[in-house]
Structure 1
Amino acid sequence: MATAPDPDLLRLVRGTGLTDKTRGLLEEAVPGEFFGYPDGLTAQDRHALTYDRLRRAGLAAPPAAELLDDPPALCALLERAAIADPGLFHVMLLHYTLALGPILLFGSGQEGPGAARASLESMESFGALLMTEVGRSNSHLAPRTLARYDPATGEFVLTTPDDQAVKFPTNTAHPAIPKIAAVYATLEHGGRERGVFVFAVPLRGPGGAVPDGVAIVPAPDTTGLMVDYAAVRLTGLRVPYEAWLRDGATIGDAGRFHDPVGGPAARLTRSMGIGPPVWRAIVSMSAAITRAAAGVLHAHAADRVTLGRLAPLRPLTDYRNVHETVLESLASAYALTVVAAHVKRRRGGAARAAGPATAWAPWSAVDRDLALLKAATTMQAQETVSRCRVSSGAPGFAATDRLNGYRGLAHAYMNAGGDNELILFDTARAMADLDRYEPPVLAGAAPGGDLASPAVWLHLARDCELRLQRRLAGRIEAARAAGRDGFEAWNDNLSLAVRTATACADRTVLEILAAACDPEPGTEPVPAAGTRVLRRLLGLHALGWLERRAGVLLDEGVAAPGLLERVWERRRSVCDALAPDEASLAASLELPPEVAAPTAFVPGG
């Protein structure tokens, strides 16, 4: 008999704000047949099938504009795509948030992008992104691909000046798939750089034909995240004035340039204002693949016996190392699901002055907390998914590619959607300079007792962040006082900067989890908030955080020696308390039946 799911946890996983009709449409958009590929496909055949599935999904799902205005619905669609096929998730995210998103955000009120929008919304063409350039790190800060206005024709001319500025990676390699790209280029007008703008550019027409001025060079096949990667060079590509997603900027009849946003720095931040929908989707994806990985591991370990000589034929989960790994993976899955539920309630798609003025990368200036949560959740997802893969043994590696695919997706998005380390560096800079950052406040002495109690782990997280922030700020101030320039001051403290920003990310996540454990009156808590089982799960996740950060907590004097022994002891008791609910916890993940344990593979079956 199947174990019944916990109704509160089931509501958490399903999310709020979705009607049964919408939920049904999303399931139809990514049906069971999308959860795998036929054997024997060439890489090009596989890519073609991925885009065919994207077309089918887009036509079955609610209209794109509605999805982009409804974070829970878009995230739910992308979550299901991620569980089914990481490659499908990636091209779907590009299509909706990074190709259609800029057209809707920056081209509002313009007639010109209408054809590109219609082609993307009808799934006649697929979206691509041309942002980063192959030869220089952090190239999104100052793309060398130039856009120049030609007053004689009223067109823009897009040019990649040399090999270093070639756009890569892009999903444009398949020779028969029509693509429309959001091209990030530096607008040069009147002898001056005017900032980074987005242009909606058809790169491949019907049948895949490439226009004059575009050269596409396919990249070698890869298995990390299977997409049709290519490099794109633009050589005097002419596009109409209407292809410029100008966001209120204009070039008048007399050639006068005007941008209501301000100067180039403000324009860069504004152009990166597409970030929030991307980050919400990545946080949700991280939660989804962690749920799937935890479910796969549970199914692998349940009812499995071991022939180990310590106790032959005992169930594998009688061994604490295995049982605690399964439960900790489930705990992390629910913790990330709580974080995803939190970010889905945040609305808005453009820069809202929610973060500090950017110094190194624009992400934090768009929305510091969302960017930081993206970094935190992708790191947690890759850690948990990798652990599930290893704990599933050889079958988890060789009998199915599902866990390998999830791991590849998590690893890819530690760089994609804003590099995690750059996000941490910029967060640290804001923390050191108190640039729209307020250090946490410690209320009273450290509470004693239960390490799995929100009051305890929140106090430890805040205390650690506060100490690191003070130390980092002191070092930077001392370096500046000694006459060292900005690079020298920071270059000697990058390791401390990462540790400091990571502490801020940890505290931010833990505050979200603590609010789910003890919701304040009058707030809109996530489903299952305050329930016994969720409190235990989030407490177990917090114990895992204490174990991972023990070195920093001890080094900063936040915790006393013996911390790990206390963590392990408390973990045993929490896992024992959760053990009777384990099957229900796994059932409440509501994974599609196609997501099976790797040992579901039977030779000759």
Structure 2
Amino acid sequence: MLEFVRGDALDAKTRLRVADAVPPGFFSYPGGLTAREHQALTYARLRRAGLAAPPAPELLDDPPALCALLDRAAIADPALFHVMLLHYTLALGPILRFGADREGPREARDALETMASFGTLLMTEAGRSNSHLSPRTIARHDPGTGGFVLTTPDAEAAKFPTNTAHPQVPKTAAVYATLVHGGSERGVFVFVVPLRGENGRIPQGVRITPAPETTGLQVDYAAVRLDGLWVPREAWLRDGARIGEDGSFHDPAGGPAQRLTRSMAVAPAVWRAVVSASAAITRASAGVLLAHSTGRTTLGRLAPRRLLTDYRNQNEAVLGALASAYALTAVAGHAKSRRAAPPPATGTGGPATAWAPWSAVDRDLALLKAAATAQAHDTVSRCRTHSGAPGFAATDRLNAYRGLAHAYTSAGGDNELILFDTARAMADLDGYQPPPPPPAAGPPDGGDLASPRVWLHLARDCERRMRDRLAERVAAARARGHDPFTAWNDNLALATRTATACADRTVLEILTAAHDTGPALLRPALRLHALGWLDRRAGNLLNEGVVPPGVLDEVWALRRAVCDELTPHAAALAAAFELPTDITAAPTAFLTTPPPDPSGGPSGSPSAGDPSAGGPFGTPPA
């Protein structure tokens, strides 16, 4: 199981460098910090991590290594994960990918690679939804200098949210702006803009308005406006586009729609990292719940002094969290090994999307991001609930993990918009092939719901039926004279469920492959996760006529059986996650142990047999 969780893409040296980059001292904060002091410490840790980790270009060329670094940051501190992700994938990533013939903004790149400045992103605009499709922040060419002038026309076009508020932390931004030249919009390009110097100085033409403090994901949020900010020619990450000496504009991408897709092409690195981090925080949350539950007695009058995990609801919550963690780990392994779809060919049609640009970049990876964050949020929330008051008040870890999962249902591409665009492609058969009709002989393996082939049979049948019905309803609305907005707006609920069914089927295909090739103990864990899927989606499956009434009774019976099979192995399942000991300690461990040393200390990653990862049910953790 340890080999499955680790995967086979990282060598021992890289794993050690990642562990050194995010040492045990990063897994907590000293008490009494103000919000700004807390944020400053986060950035100090980011600088230390960046200097200890492999060089940024190597990380960005090695998805498993970058994800390993970000996973450890997410488990240690979701805020550190967030600013680290922005720094590497959305600030340095565009410079390395789009810098023209490697000329690019050399000074900004050096500052980011040496952690002299921290990367941030200026993309979303505060006043309009779907603002990625057409940013109102404008870039105009200055023929006198060869540079560009960036302008935010009003407060509604302010870039928000950004992590730029701390007055003493140097920041360099990747700004997404619409290039206007020759009286026409030429598409969305990225410009590199220093927002704060080393001493916190803000250049003329930049206005930063700090946002109110929040505890959801503790970073220095602010809105940014650019008021006639001049930047040199090298700040334009032109990706092959150019403005000739005669003022003519040339873009090999073809047009504004294709340029938007290319400029968003850094997103797959974000999605891989978010899927992987979703698995990481789910593993950590499952470890916390196991630690809370192991050996804990109850005083209920039905059976005083019974162990908490003797109750099916708690037993299934713990094992279900462990199962979901393994399922997401399988999905993360798939995402990290999968290269992004190639950009659209020069001169081809624009993005086949209606709500957001993400699905035009890589529809499958965007959909996996939506599925992984939704699953992580659901599992982490259940771990928090089943850890009772201690899980809420004795530690902020589960609250922080839940906040991270919740934040990334919108960040990195809004999940609902990804689902809408996926559903539109499914209905139009745009780069999408529906699952074939089920065989006349009926479901495989006699319809045994514990069989992976039956999971796939049900998921594919449900997806195909939903897709056909959605296509028919939209087509009928158009035939009645409705415009595209009305035709789709009346069917968004079905569209969401249809795209979710596609995501479910994709995930189950990944899990079936892992079930067939992975270690023996992985199989019952994945069966339990699949039974949980059947329980959650029973309404859709019943509505589409894929399963008969009474199916939940069979699901519940099978779930009890697989939980009985997994219960003796709960500690082994959790130990393979290699969680640091301060994570696997129960939430109330502060009552009997000294507070952690915030300056760092000896590494605590238990081996597969370390009892600090939680003993078997009924045995208190060491």
- TM (normalized to structure 1)? 0.95
**Structure 1 residue 112: deviation in Å?**
3.5
Q: Is 2:576 the partner of 1:588? A: yes
Helix, strand or coil at the partner of 1:48: helix
**Structure 1 residue 601: deviation in Å?**
2.2
8 Å Cα contact 2:258-2:344 kept in structure 1: no
Cα deviations across residues 54-76 of structure 1 (Å, max 9, x unaligned)? 00000000000000000000000
8 Å Cα contact 2:438-2:461 kept in structure 1: no
Q: Is 2:587 the partner of 1:598? A: yes
2-structure distance, mates of 1:242, 1:110: 10
8 Å Cα contact 1:275-1:349 kept in structure 2: no
**Structure 1 residue 84: deviation in Å?**
0.1
Helix, strand or coil at the partner of 1:409: helix
8 Å Cα contact 1:149-1:189 kept in structure 2: yes
Out of 346, 371, 374, the position equivalent to 2:369 is: 374
Out of 197, 212, 221, the position equivalent to 2:189 is: 197
**Structure 1 residue 15: deviation in Å?**
2.1
Out of 193, 217, 221, the position equivalent to 2:213 is: 221
- Residue 422 of structure 1 corresponds to 417
1-structure distance, mates of 2:226, 2:394: 43
Q: Is 2:460 the partner of 1:462? A: yes
1-structure distance, mates of 2:560, 2:351: 42
The AA in structure 1 aligned to 2:391 is G
- Residue 397 of structure 2 corresponds to 402
**Structure 1 residue 358: deviation in Å?**
2.2
1-structure distance, mates of 2:200, 2:450: 56
Out of 370, 378, 382, the position equivalent to 1:383 is: 378
- Residue 296 of structure 2 corresponds to 304
Out of 547, 561, 576, the position equivalent to 1:559 is: 547
Helix, strand or coil at the partner of 1:127: strand
1-structure distance, mates of 2:342, 2:471: 30
Q: Is 2:564 the partner of 1:576? A: yes
The AA in structure 2 aligned to 1:128 is T
- Residue 512 of structure 1 corresponds to 510
* Aligned pairs (5 A) from 1:187-586: 187-348=179-340, 351=343, 357-444=352-439, 445-447=442-444, 448-519=446-517, 529=518, 531-586=519-574
8 Å Cα contact 1:472-1:497 kept in structure 2: yes
Q: Which segment is superposed worse, 378-387 or 356-365?
A: 356-365
8 Å Cα contact 1:105-1:350 kept in structure 2: no
The AA in structure 2 aligned to 1:587 is A
Q: Is 2:60 the partner of 1:93? A: no
8 Å Cα contact 2:261-2:351 kept in structure 1: no
Q: Unmatched 5+ residue regions in structure 2?
A: 595-622
Q: Unmatched 5+ residue regions in structure 1?
A: 1-8, 520-528
Tell me the number of residue pairs that the alignment of Structure 1 and Structure 2 aligns: 587
Helix, strand or coil at the partner of 2:266: helix
Distance 1:385 1:604, change over 3 A: closer
Cα deviations across residues 238-297 of structure 1 (Å, max 9, x unaligned)? 000110000000001100100000110000011111111000000000000000000000
**Structure 1 residue 450: deviation in Å?**
2.3
2-structure distance, mates of 1:410, 1:110: 36
**Structure 1 residue 350: deviation in Å?**
6.1
Helix, strand or coil at the partner of 1:158: strand
The AA in structure 2 aligned to 1:172 is T
Q: Is 2:115 the partner of 1:123? A: yes
- Residue 146 of structure 1 corresponds to 138
Helix, strand or coil at the partner of 2:139: strand
The AA in structure 2 aligned to 1:75 is C
Helix, strand or coil at the partner of 1:187: strand
**Structure 1 residue 349: deviation in Å?**
8.2
- TM (normalized to structure 2)? 0.93
- Residue 5 of structure 1 corresponds to none
Helix, strand or coil at the partner of 1:206: coil
Helix, strand or coil at the partner of 1:123: coil
8 Å Cα contact 1:273-1:349 kept in structure 2: no
Helix, strand or coil at the partner of 2:443: coil
2-structure distance, mates of 1:359, 1:449: 39
8 Å Cα contact 2:100-2:238 kept in structure 1: no
**Structure 1 residue 604: deviation in Å?**
8.9
State the percentage of identical aligned residues.
72
- Residue 6 of structure 1 corresponds to none
Q: Runs of 4+ in structure 1 displaced over 4 angstroms? A: 352-356
What is the aligned-residue RMSD (CA, Å)? 1.4
Cα deviations across residues 73-108 of structure 1 (Å, max 9, x unaligned)? 000000000000000000000000000000011115
2-structure distance, mates of 1:399, 1:384: 19
